[in-house]
Amino acid sequence: MKRIDPTIRFRIGLAPGPDDREDPASRHGDEGETFVPPIDIHEGTDGLVLEADLPGATEQNLRIELEDNVLSLYATVDSAIPEGARLIHEEYRRGSFHRSFILSDDVDRDRIAAELKNGVLRLVLPKADRARSRRIEVKS
């Protein structure tokens, strides 16, 4: 039984964050690049669960914002590489992570929970009670 349930609507990199507005030129700097983190979204018992790969992110440098219906993630990753070390091979660049999602009204904003562990952010987006009962009506 597959059903598409637009409980959460998401788009990528759409909402300019306050930081982006301040200095768009910083994107071209060595440390100023912004990356779109890969995510998984799955249905949990009480709504949707979103997991984002944010390697290097800590609670101090992670910001989650909810403005109107746009949920935005920002993480600015500091480098632990000592000064004087010379980069000799590079497969990933350091910089910040940013991704935004559009939440539908079905998400209970007051109960959104976040947990950051080993560089993975897990966001629980519970369904509002109203939304749950509405779905039952549609099915019958």
Partner 1 sequence: MGGTHWQGRWDPFRELRNEMGRLFESLEPFQLARRTYQYPPLNLYDAVDRYLLTAQLPGALAEDLELSISGETLTIRGERKRSEGVKDDQYRRQERPIGRWGRTITLPDRVDAALVTAAFSNGILTVALPKAESAKPRQIMVSTTTEAAPPNSRGESGSRGESSS
Contacts (CB under 8 A) with partner 1, residues 6-35: 6, 9-16
Site string for partner 1, 67-106 (x = CB under 8 A): ---x---------xxx-xxxxxxxxxx--------x----
User: What whole-number distance in Å separates Cα of residue 39 and Cα of residue 103?
Assistant: 15
Residue 135: strand, helix, or coil: helix
| Contact characters 113-132, partner 1, x per CB under 8 A | -----xxx------------
Q: Which two tokens stand for residue 17?
A: 């964050």
Through-space distance between the first and last CA atoms of the chain, rounded to whole angstroms: 15
The verdict on 139 binding partner 1 (CB under 8 A) reads no
Q: How many angstroms separate the Cα of 4 from the Cα of each of 12, 43, 59, 87, 109?
A: 19, 11, 33, 46, 21
Q: CB-wise, 97 or 108, nearer to partner 1?
A: 97
Nearer to partner 1, 86 or 139 (CB): 86
Strands 70-76 and 95-103: antiparallel
How many residues contact partner 1, by CB under 8 A?
A: 45
| Identity of the residue, 82 or 110, whose beta carbon is nearer to partner 1 in the bound complex | 82
Which helix (H) or strand (E) segment holds residue 71: the answer is strand 70-76
Footprint of partner 1 (CB under 8 A): 2, 4, 6, 9-16, 38-44, 48-49, 51, 53-58, 70, 80-82, 84-93, 102, 118-120
